[in-house]
């Protein structure tokens, strides 16, 4: 470990929020965590929690990302953890779309900013926020390395057979259409932690990672390298999610436009915001859906079954893509907490060597753990994700290299 500064500030700038964590890389401890919500509204809220003190909340309006970051800097300074601290090694920024160019975490300069801007048409909701965070942080500390860590980077190793859609390559290339995949920092972290749980090096294990949060994606990771993932050009493809449909026949869109006379914006909103679990049964929180299922609610039961059916299809597909599977890892809000989802997703897959021990599956919390029977051919694991730590780790590795 280097003897220089050891702290990394991780910034995750969303369209109307900024989440942050100040991490000491010597022991991965959080010195402060917080978030600013509802940026641009009158009801903005900042919540800041230092490691050794009480949480503080502020409710003054925060006009934009620049104001948000300045407010965060002021909170950190109040705890003696300000951006001017000599202990700060770098700021690591989550950037959603890195296109084909950014295959690794990257120290930000003018050229990198221009390229992230050029990628906005591929991630119109996400990249502008990341860019605003980067620009403001750079203005506040121009001398400090600012590192962009891309959600897409881990997936850039996919072979063309997985990344290309079966459409005219000229049209695809002209419009930069291909499978990029998202949640990459989580898939990277969880696949590595799964190898560690098995007592092996990542290069020795083949893992199917199921990141099931409000957004959800699956990936097939061979020897530490991503070979396929379920999200595509955008985060809309793949699994059934909280509010997104995931896979559907693309002709549904023509049909809605031609026969349903819906506009492109209306269809976009329908598929991204009013579909998935929410669209199917009116709830997108898995806790509420399970409560309704247990109470005999048919719409919730059907939504749950559709969610599980899709998940099972991807487990099977990625089993075939990988050929051999050492582990299936569940992560994120649903994957880490919803035992019925894990049990149902693996039910009936004994022929593939997959099974869940119901006693182990019912245990709550407790970090990375195996939930498969001791004699199972394939390990089934719950592996809590930690995207902030992964961003900090990648950032710190780059600036201390
Ligand atoms: P994101 O980061 O995509 O917003 P998270 O990974 O935080 O999402 O996951 C959020 C989802 O996790 C919630 O919508 C909820 O359905 C689910 N979740 C959280 N806790 C539980 C729980 N105890 N049981 C079932 N589902 C849970």
Tell me the whole-structure pTM to 2 decimals.
0.95
CA of 289: how far to CAs of 20, 97, 125, 253, 336, in Å? 30, 31, 28, 28, 16
Q: What are the tens digits of pLDDT across the range 73-91?
A: 999 999 999 999 999 999 9
Q: Report the residue among 210, 280, 333 best suited for mutation to probe ligand 1: largest number of ligand atoms under 8 A from its CB.
A: 333
The protein residue with its alpha carbon nearest to ligand 1, atom 14, reads 285
Residue spans per domain, the chain: 7-150, 199-387
Give residue ranges with CB within 6 A of ligand 1: 213-215, 242, 284-287, 332-334, 337-338
CA separation for the pair 121, 58 (Å, rounded): 34
> Does domain 199-387 bear CATH number 3.30.420.40?
yes
The protein residue with its alpha carbon nearest to ligand 1, atom 12, reads 333
- Closest ligand 1 atom to 211 CA: 6
The whole-number pLDDT of residue 2 equals 52
User: Which has the closest alpha carbon to 141: 85, 179, 202, 222?
Assistant: 85
Residue spans of beta strands (DSSP E) within 101-234? 106-107, 146-150, 206-212, 216-222, 225-229
Confidence label for 365 from pLDDT (cuts 50, 70 and 90): confident
Catalytic sites, residue numbers = 151
Token pair recorded at residue 111 = 């050229």
The dihedral through the CA atoms of 336, 337, 341, 346 has a sign that is positive
CA separation for the pair 208, 248 (Å, rounded): 22
Region 242-271: mean pLDDT is 98
Burial-class residue 203 by CB neighbours within 10 Å (0-12, 13-18, 19+).
Answer: exposed
- 17 CA → ligand 1 middle, Å: 18
Residue 133 Cα to chain centre, angstroms: 18
- 215 CA → ligand 1 middle, Å: 9
The protein residue with its alpha carbon nearest to ligand 1, atom 27, reads 334
Token pair recorded at residue 390 = 């992964």
Burial-class residue 227 by CB neighbours within 10 Å (0-12, 13-18, 19+).
Answer: buried
The protein residue with its alpha carbon nearest to ligand 1, atom 19, reads 333
- Closest ligand 1 atom to 285 CA: 16
Q: What are the tens digits of pLDDT across the range 174-232?
A: 999 999 999 999 999 999 999 999 999 999 999 999 999 999 999 999 999 999 999 99
Token pair recorded at residue 393 = 């780790």
Q: What are the tens digits of pLDDT across the range 91-116?
A: 999 999 999 999 999 999 999 999 99
Confidence label for 14 from pLDDT (cuts 50, 70 and 90): confident
What are the φ and ψ backbone dihedral angles of 311, each rounded to 5 degrees?
-60, -45
Token pair recorded at residue 276 = 């998935």
Right CATH for 7-150 from 1.25.40.10, 3.40.50.1100, 3.30.420.40, 3.40.640.10: 3.30.420.40
- 128 CA → ligand 1 middle, Å: 26
Q: Report the residue among 12, 185, 307, 334 best suited for mutation to probe ligand 1: largest number of ligand atoms under 8 A from its CB.
A: 334
- End-to-end alpha-carbon separation of the chain, Å? 11
Q: What is the dihedral of CA 137, 139, 144, 146, to 10 degrees?
A: 40
- 73 CA → ligand 1 middle, Å: 29
The whole-number pLDDT of residue 124 equals 87
Q: Report the residue among 15, 282, 286 best suited for mutation to probe ligand 1: largest number of ligand atoms under 8 A from its CB.
A: 286
| 3-class DSSP state of 30 | strand
Confidence label for 366 from pLDDT (cuts 50, 70 and 90): confident
Residue 140 CB partners (closer than 8 Å, separation 6+): 69, 70, 73, 83
| 3-class DSSP state of 8 | strand
- 365 CA → ligand 1 middle, Å: 14
- 191 CA → ligand 1 middle, Å: 20
Same fold across 7-150 and 199-387: yes
Residue 258 CB partners (closer than 8 Å, separation 6+): none
């Amino acid at each position: 470990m280097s003897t220089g500064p050891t702290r990394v500030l991780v910034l995750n700038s969303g369209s109307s929020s900024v989440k942050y964590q100040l991490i000491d890389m010597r022991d991965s401890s959080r010195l402060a965590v917080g978030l600013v919500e509802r940026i641009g509204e009158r009801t903005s809220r900042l919540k800041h929690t230092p490691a050794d003190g009480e949480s503080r909340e502020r409710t003054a309006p925060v006009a934009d990302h620049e104001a948000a970051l300045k407010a965060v800097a002021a909170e950190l300074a109040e705890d003696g953890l300000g951006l001017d601290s000599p202990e700060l090694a770098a700021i690591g920024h989550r950037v959603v779309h890195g296109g084909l160019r950014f295959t690794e975490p990257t120290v930000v300069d003018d050229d990198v900013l221009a390229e992230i801007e050029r990628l906005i048409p591929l991630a119109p909701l996400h990249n502008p926020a990341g860019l605003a965070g980067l620009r403001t942080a750079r203005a506040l500390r121009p001398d400090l390395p600012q590192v962009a860590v891309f959600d897409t980077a881990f997936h850039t190793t996919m072979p063309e057979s997985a990344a290309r859609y079966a459409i005219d390559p000229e049209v695809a290339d002209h419009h930069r259409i291909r499978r990029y995949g998202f949640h990459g920092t989580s898939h990277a972290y969880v696949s590595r932690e799964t190898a560690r749980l098995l007592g092996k090096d990542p290069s020795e294990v083949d893992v199917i990672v199921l990141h099931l949060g409000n957004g959800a994606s699956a990936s097939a990771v061979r020897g530490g390298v991503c070979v396929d993932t379920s999200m595509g050009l955008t985060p809309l493809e793949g699994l059934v999610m909280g509010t997104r449909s995931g896979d559907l026949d693309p002709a549904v869109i023509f049909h809605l436009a031609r026969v349903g006379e819906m506009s492109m914006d209306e269809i976009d909103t329908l598929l991204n915001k009013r579909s998935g679990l929410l669209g199917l049964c009116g709830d997108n929180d898995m806790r509420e859906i399970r409560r309704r299922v247990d109470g005999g609610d048919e719409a919730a039961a059907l939504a749950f079954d559709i969610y599980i059916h899709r998940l099972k299809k991807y487990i099977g597909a990625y089993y075939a893509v990988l050929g051999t599977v050492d582990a299936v890892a569940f992560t994120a809000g649903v994957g880490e907490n919803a035992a019925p989802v894990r049990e149902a997703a693996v039910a009936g897959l004994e022929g593939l060597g997959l099974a869940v021990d119901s006693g182990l599956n019912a245990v709550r919390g407790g970090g990375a753990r195996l939930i498969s029977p001791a004699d199972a051919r394939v390990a089934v694991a719950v592996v809590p994700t930690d995207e902030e730590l992964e961003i900090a780790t990648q950032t710190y590795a780059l600036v201390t290299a």
